[in-house]
Structure 1
Amino acid sequence: MHAGANNDTDSSTAEEYMAQLELPQASWLQKRHAVTSQKNVWTFWNKGWKAMHPWAQRNVINWVRKLGPDWTVHVLDAVPESETHVKHFVEPSFFPEAFNNGTMDGLFVGPHQGDLVRLPLLWKYGGAWMDVGTLLFRHLDDIWWNRIIDPASPCELGGFAVEFREKYYTMLNGFLVCQSGNPFIKRWHDIYLSLWGPSTTNATGFHKHPLLAHIKAIETPSDRVIEDPEMITAVDVMLDYLAHFLCLERLRGLSDPNDGFDGAEYFATKIFLAPAMQELFALQPLTQWSGNEQNSLLRTRLDDPQDEVWQKANAYVRDAFANQSAIKVSRGPKNPKLVCLAELWDQEEFKDADHGEGTFASYLRYGSIHYDQTRDLVPMVLERSENTLKLGLLEPLKDLMQ
């Protein structure tokens, strides 16, 4: 739909949406399904569908409704004996011992299990990876897929880019689109897998690993605008949490003399990126990254007095329908002074806040399925890195300095 399209609604739209929530997709998503094409959506919740928070389940159900029968949504897990365990799709050789034997520990077991499974699934089968915290607004055919399958297009991998240092952008790993056999995806996973030794059970210290120690520190967009130092997550904790991104940065900076693969050239010419702060995270700077304010805005009722809060909620929702590909509701490393929207929606008190009857949240849910965008998704133009290292994929930089 156009940015100026008429989206007027009232509580009846929300009620109609609520009436459709009990759908057969929920039971269907708990079963294993054959891969019959490359139009797959892959996602993962390590403890299984029934342990997933209801708001995230509604996200996934709505993917099915938005995408229709041409795309198959696969929800995988790491629950022993589960018929949707990732082991039914990917061989154990793609994972470290700690994943295969269930001994992963530390602060970020779920996120790092997700980091381990997303790239092998894309490399083997193709399609899209989306984190469960994604509210989808555009059809995947329009989010890079049609370009990727076009023989005349140079695009082989699509994603969203965020500024991790001033004027320096890198690709997020929570929303990726490609065909099977993608060479960048496989090498990225090989680097990450190599961080996990036979006895490694968590990611503590990963940012100091010999393969990554030369990578410049990265920071989140919120770190650059939040003035309270107590609200900024400790650097070492954040870098270990983002080790998967550091592996991407390593690959992006390599020209491998062994097989000739130039990561910098591939990143600049074969990966199409759109700006994440516009396409996925527009709600964050609007609210100074405050989950409490985001929750308050979305819980505002459509029939409330049209005060300043109502106007802000209304403007945001209309912009989301017209100008965002999705909303990524993220957690990140736990920080007692920075409350994320996902943490609030996980709580019993707000278990229905993402779709409360007559609210802007419910309107978002409704529009994400029933409204379509007509704007083109224009790729960013990023310059090729000139600091390429002539280095083997798994060759530590220190070996060259000795």
Structure 2
Amino acid sequence: MSIGYLQIPGTSPLTTTLPPLSTDAPLPPALTSPSPPSVGAKQIFAFWHSGIHSIPPYLLREITSWYRRYSPLGWTIYIFDNVPDSSLNISRYINTTDPLLVPAAFANGTIDSASPYHHTSDLIRFPLLLRYGGIYLDVTLLQIGDLDWLWTKHISNPASPYDFAGFTMSSPPDLQIVNFAMASTPNNPLVSRALQILLKLWEGKTNTSGMHAQSIVSHVPLMRVPPDVNIPADIRAKMPEGDPEMTDYAIQIQCLGAAERWIDDDWNGPEYTREKCWLYSMVDRAYIPEQMAGWSGQRLFDLLSQRIAEPNSAMETESHKFARQIVEETVTGSWVWKLGNSEDMFGGPTLGLLWRRNEGSDCVEGTYAGWLRWAEVNLRQERPPEKMEVPVFEASMRGKLSDQL
């Protein structure tokens, strides 16, 4: 155990974690040239357009944390890319010329939005999960909860009613499954319908501008800050509220929302969401540190950059106590920690942006940030967070999806 890092109440030590990777050693072949994925296997998918070797160090450390924690349990991690001749080029794993999987703008390389790599990443998630099943994670996620437990006991288990897991913004009528962390079985019906809706939106388009207004998704509320989230008024005023541009930016989420709210001859979205989806509240299980720090990235950065003080000692100031509380509650209560990377969305610089701008600050030995990084691969929650109980909610679209395609 590293000096100064304590086990956190409510956790137990992990005994299967691989040791830290040397910063000056090559990445292991299991990350740079993994064996091909197979249907229904334990596999984590992610994407970085220019390849794993170009990922910013604070994010690469997250990927190596997934590797250290989960590869001993039989998991393979795939960081797909768009690099010509790369063994992990996404075109080797899904048919990127198939109009039933990706839009023409993807196949032709004509996506012309302000964030083409973001949309490329979005467009491969559904096809990957449909073909292989597994877990898709954003590279900006610190994975706290036990993915192996979730996958083995609930998602891939034939005796379990659940075949999809993820996060949702708020509660009905604003219930909205998001796309930064999704687990599903192959040929999942929710993923399949969301993909069909997404492809319809992209017909004849080279970017997502105006997609929120198309009838196939216009029955879904525009993205907004959940009204029940406690955010200081000055920060909330800078965040998007029912923002069409932000909704277009995250249009894949609207497609999931449309599928959730749709009743067809052979599909009942509200019923499926209640009975088949293992869901966590995004705010409660992915943004605990932001809530505790008043959604201030700078405050989080300053708190976590402090050197650890011995608990309840004369050296532990109120600031130290609060940083310790953030680490402890994050490790015991989160499923993931989603690092924000958009000043526009969060009303100012996020912790993720500040870690990127201050290389190495996310893992300094003996700091609260270093403790959090250590806990992620060395501790396991004794009681995983309870899933969200989805209440009965009404469909907002009825009729055959095929009639709108």
Q: Secondary structure at the match of 1:231?
A: coil
Structure 2 partner of 1:86: 90
Match of 1:29 in 2: 31
The answer on whether the counterparts of 2:225 and 2:240 sit within 8 Å (CA) in structure 1 is no
User: For residues 245-264 of structure 1, what are the structure 2 equivalents within 5 Å?
Assistant: 245-257=253-265, 260-264=266-270
Q: In structure 2, which of residues 40, 44, 49 is the aligned counterpart of residue 46 of structure 1?
A: 49
Partner of 1:310 in structure 2? 320
Q: Does the residue aligned with 2:131 lie in a helix, a strand or coil?
A: helix
Task: Tell me: CA distance 1:388–1:2, structure 2 relative to 1, closer, same or farther (3 Å).
Answer: farther
- Are residues 333 and 239 of structure 1, via their aligned partners in 2, closer, same or farther at CA, if it must alter by over 3 Å? farther
Q: Does residue 1:207 correspond to 2:209, yes or no?
A: no
- The Cα RMSD (Å) is 2.8
Q: Which residue of 2 aligns with 1:119?
A: 126
C-alpha change, 1:221 and 1:54, in structure 2 (3 Å) is farther
Change (3 A) 1:142 1:21: farther
- In 1: Cα distance, 2:253 partner to 2:156 partner: 26
Query: How much does 1:67 deviate?
Result: 0.8
- Segments of structure 1 that go 5 or more residues without pairing to the other structure are 9-16, 398-402
Q: Amino acid of the residue matched to residue 33 of structure 2?
A: K
In structure 2, C-alpha distance between the alignment counterparts of 1:224 and 1:218, rounded to whole Å: 17
Match of 1:57 among 36, 60, 79: 60
Judged with a 3 Å threshold, the aligned counterparts in structure 2 of structure 1 residues 333 and 197 are, in CA distance, closer, same or farther, namely farther
Q: What is the CA distance between 1:275 and its match in structure 2? A: 2.2
Kept in 2: contact 1:233–1:335 (CA 8 A): yes
Q: Which amino acid in 2 is paired with 1:78?
A: N
The match for 1:4 is: 9
Amino acid corresponding to residue 245 of structure 2 in structure 1: V
* 1:289 corresponds to: 295
For residues 22 and 395 of structure 1, the distance between their equivalents in structure 2, rounded to whole angstroms, comes to 56
Identity of aligned residues (%): 26
Amino acid at match of 1:346: R
Question: 1:91: how far off?
Answer: 0.6
How far off is 1:18 after superposition? 7.0
* Counterpart residue identity of residue 189, structure 1: L
Question: CA-to-partner distance for each residue in 1:104-159, whole Å, 9 max, x for gaps?
Answer: 12233222211111111111111111100111123212235421223322111111
Superposed displacement of residue 358, structure 1: 1.6
Q: Distance in 2 between matches of 1:177 and 1:59?
A: 18
The 3 A distance-change label for structure 1 pair 365 and 156 is same
The 2-side partners of 1:214 and 1:158 are apart by 23
- Give how far 1:276 is off: 2.3
Give distance in 2, aligned partners of 1:394 and 1:60.
39
Q: Which amino acid aligns with 1:307?
A: T
- For residue 281 of structure 2, what is the aligned residue in structure 1? 275
Q: Counterpart of 1:68?
A: 71
Matches within 5 A, 1:210-359: 210-221=215-226, 225-228=231-234, 231-233=238-240, 235-257=243-265, 260-303=266-309, 305-332=315-342, 334=344, 337-347=347-357, 350-359=358-367
Residue aligning to 1:400: none
Could you tell me which runs of 5 or more consecutive residues in structure 2 were left unpaired when the two chains were aligned. Answer: 1-5, 14-18
Give the letter aligned to residue 67 of structure 2: V
Structure-2 separation of matches of 1:184 and 1:252: 8
2:16 maps to: none
> Does the aligned pair in 1 maintain the 2:49–2:117 contact within 8 Å?
yes
* 3-state DSSP of counterpart to 2:401: coil
Q: Secondary structure at the match of 1:372?
A: strand
1:109 to 113, 116, 132: 116
- State the AA in 1 paired with 2:351: L
Indicate yes or no: 2:390 matched with 1:382: yes
Return the alpha-carbon distance in structure 1 between the equivalents of residues 12 and 329 of structure 2. Answer: 10
**Residue 212 of structure 1: how far off its partner (Å):** 1.6
Matched, 1:157 2:161: no
CA distance in 1, matches of 2:399, 2:221: 17
Separation in 2 of the partners of 1:308 and 1:55? 28
Q: How far apart in 1 are the matches of 2:20 and 2:344?
A: 32
What do the CA deviations read for 1:346-367 (whole angstroms, capped 9, x no partner)? 22xx111111122111111111
Q: Distance in 2 between matches of 1:123 and 1:340?
A: 33
User: How far apart in 2 are the matches of 1:185 and 1:325?
Assistant: 21
**1:6–1:323 Cα change, 3 Å:** closer
Q: Which residue of 2 aligns with 1:137?
A: 144
TM-score norm. by structure 1 comes to 0.87
Q: CA deviation at 1:197?
A: 2.0
Give TM-score, length-normalised by structure 2: 0.86
Matched, 1:187 2:197: no
CA distance in 1, matches of 2:365, 2:386: 35
Q: What is the CA–CA distance in structure 2 between the aligned matches of 1:168 and 1:106, rounded to whole Å? A: 27
AA aligned to 1:256 is D
Kindly state the Cα deviation for residue 310 of structure 1 after the two structures are TM-superposed: 1.0
Which deviations, in whole Å up to 9, do the C-alpha atoms of 1:185-235 show, x marking residues without a partner? 11111111221123x221111111231223222312488735237512371
3-state secondary structure, aligned to 1:29: helix
Instruction: Tell me the amino acid that sits aligned with residue 328 of structure 1.
Output: K
